[in-house]
Amino acid sequence: MSLKITVIGTGYLGATHAAAMAELGFEVLGLDVVPEKIAMLERGETPMYEPGLEELLRKHVVGLEGSTGRLRFTTDWAEIGAFGDVHFVCVNTPQKHGEYACDMSYVDSAIASLAPHLHRPALVVGKSTVPVGSAERLAVHLAENAPAGGDAELAWNPEFLREGFAVEDTLHPDRIVAGVRGERAEKLLREVYATPIGEGTPFVVTDFPTAELVKTAANSFLATKISFINAMAEVCEAGGGDVAKLAEAIGYDDRIGAKFLRAGIGFGGGCLPKDIRAFMARAGELGADQALTFLREIDSINMRRRGQMVEMAREALGGGSFLGRRIAVLGATFKPDSDDVRDSPALNVAGQIHLQGGQVTVYDPKGMDNARKVFPTLGYAGSALEAVRGADAVLHLTEWREFRELDPAALGEAAPARLILDGRNALDPQLWRRAGWTYRAMGRPTA
């Protein structure tokens, strides 16, 4: 394949995108400003747990036994500029400290570092999630600072991958969105995606602002679905309904759809919470804040689920203080199949109970190291069985398959109190009740 690809930033998005591009047959050069990350990737390792990614890296990273050698890494911007026909910008855009707004400093500095090295025609493709209007501003910067001038074009091509499914989502996306200004950019992007990725995949060509907005709108919609069902859970809790049945029943309507209707302790992670906040902040700057005031409610429904889980545990334990009570917490990551604990509802609930005097022991299949870093004062166990030993209550807070496959009878031997609270509505109530457990879940009747 003739096009040469670079990928700037090697987090979840960049590392996966680089490996996927190599898998499709392109020569790929990845860049990160952190040399330790590059050293890991060169060994075919990733700083995070993402199913299938290390296998893909080992298949392509140059110098590894049996690899195609199509994927290399560097920290040198000049090498990136000289190598690439298409440069994908995959750096992260976190929430600004103490504000709702998005921190654009990594994107801005990536473009500023790359521009002076663009001596020949190139397409710079933003994949990061950015506030509407960013691409316009960055295109001006590129044209003014790249030696190639107008031949260094920009496009915006948002990425919709989910953690835990990053490889699958990158290789089999639902749609490709191409925010472009001219025909050349569209042609080049079509060429990149004219690989198996693009076959049969809808290719939506838009202007810059629409491409930027598609991503924030999609994440806002997903967050809204989750908070909607969690609001229904609150009403069920008050009125005696069963939110899981309610979700099943409304989900059969194709217009609503069954996905993202699992009630529980809500959404977390590095995307949905910060994206809806950045969206509100940007709308405010544009004088359109009224259009998104509902997102404030989505955020607040989501955040209060965590406190409600804590209260549910307190009540199930007979009320009063957590002092001296032993609480086992199954799950620390914000979702299963990830080691990411950023804004994790599970860890937040564990932390709240700990701060209220509870003796909390956490177990998570992949998130222990990250959880320890964020919350070193919590207790940690090497297995679910060890965590629940002697527990007055077991809280199921991240729906790992390992937890669904637990044997309630064996666990009951270790935790004779046999009280389990399902913060994710993911365990089988009958299975646990038959083994003598008191099973309670958010938004569902107590028996």
Which residues form the catalytic set?
Answer: 271
Is 319 labeled as ligand-binding?
no
The H-or-E segment that residue 126 falls in is strand 122-126
Residue whose C-alpha is closest to residue 71's, from 50, 57, 51: 57
Q: CB nearer to ligand UDX: give 118 or 271.
A: 271
Distances 63 to 42, 120, 257 between C-alpha atoms, Å: 8, 29, 46
Is 160 labeled as ligand-binding?
yes
DSSP 359: E
Is 32 labeled as ligand-binding?
yes
Residue whose C-alpha is closest to residue 247's, from 239, 258, 231, 236: 258
The answer to whether 355 touches 306, Cβ cutoff 8 Å, is: no
Q: CB nearer to ligand UDX: give 20 or 161.
A: 161
Is 259 labeled as ligand-binding?
no
Measured in degrees and rounded to the nearest 5, phi and psi for residue 246 equal: -60, -45
Can you give the C-alpha Rg of the chain in angstroms? Answer: 24
Is 59 labeled as ligand-binding?
no
Q: CB nearer to ligand UDX: give 264 or 358.
A: 264
Is 263 labeled as ligand-binding?
yes
Q: CB nearer to ligand UDX: give 100 or 433.
A: 100
Minimum CB separation of residue 81 from ligand UDX in Å reads: 28
Is 231 labeled as ligand-binding?
no
The H-or-E segment that residue 199 falls in is none
Minimum CB separation of residue 228 from ligand UDX in Å reads: 10
The whole-angstrom separation of Cα 227 and Cα 294 is 11
Is 304 labeled as ligand-binding?
no
The whole-angstrom separation of Cα 116 and Cα 344 is 39
Point out which residues bind ligand UDX (CB under 6 A). 160-163, 219, 222, 226, 260-262, 264, 266-269, 271-272, 334-335
Both tokens of 267, joined, read 């959404």
Q: CB nearer to ligand UDX: give 117 or 444.
A: 444
Minimum CB separation of residue 367 from ligand UDX in Å reads: 12
Residue whose C-alpha is closest to residue 179's, from 224, 149, 138: 138
Tell me how crowded residue 243 is: count the other CB atoms within 10 A of its CB.
Answer: 26
Minimum CB separation of residue 428 from ligand UDX in Å reads: 17
CA dihedral 340, 344, 350, 356 (to 10 degrees): 140
Distances 16 to 23, 30, 32, 159, 169 between C-alpha atoms, Å: 10, 11, 13, 11, 10
Minimum CB separation of residue 258 from ligand UDX in Å reads: 9
Is 274 labeled as ligand-binding?
yes
Minimum CB separation of residue 49 from ligand UDX in Å reads: 13
DSSP 366: S
- Print burial letters for 70-103: b (CB count within 10 Å at least 16), e (below 16): bbbbbeebeebbebbbbbbbbbbbebbeeebbbb
Q: CB nearer to ligand UDX: give 117 or 335.
A: 335
Residue 433: exposed, middle, or buried by beta-carbon count in 10 A (0-12, 13-18, 19+)?
middle
Is 24 labeled as ligand-binding?
no
Q: CB nearer to ligand UDX: give 216 or 361.
A: 216
Q: Give the contacts of 152 (CB within 8 A, at least 6 positions apart).
A: 115, 118, 121, 122, 124, 142, 143, 146
Tell the residue number behind the tokens 């690809």, with chain if given: 5
Minimum CB separation of residue 274 from ligand UDX in Å reads: 10
Residue whose C-alpha is closest to residue 13's, from 196, 139, 167: 167
Minimum CB separation of residue 412 from ligand UDX in Å reads: 27
Q: CB nearer to ligand UDX: give 81 or 269.
A: 269
Q: Which residues line the annotated binding site for NAD(+)?
A: 32, 37, 93, 129, 163, 274, 342
Q: Which residues line the annotated binding site for substrate?
A: 160-163, 215, 260-264, 268, 335
Q: Which residues line the annotated binding site?
A: 32, 37, 93, 129, 160-163, 215, 260-264, 268, 274, 335, 342
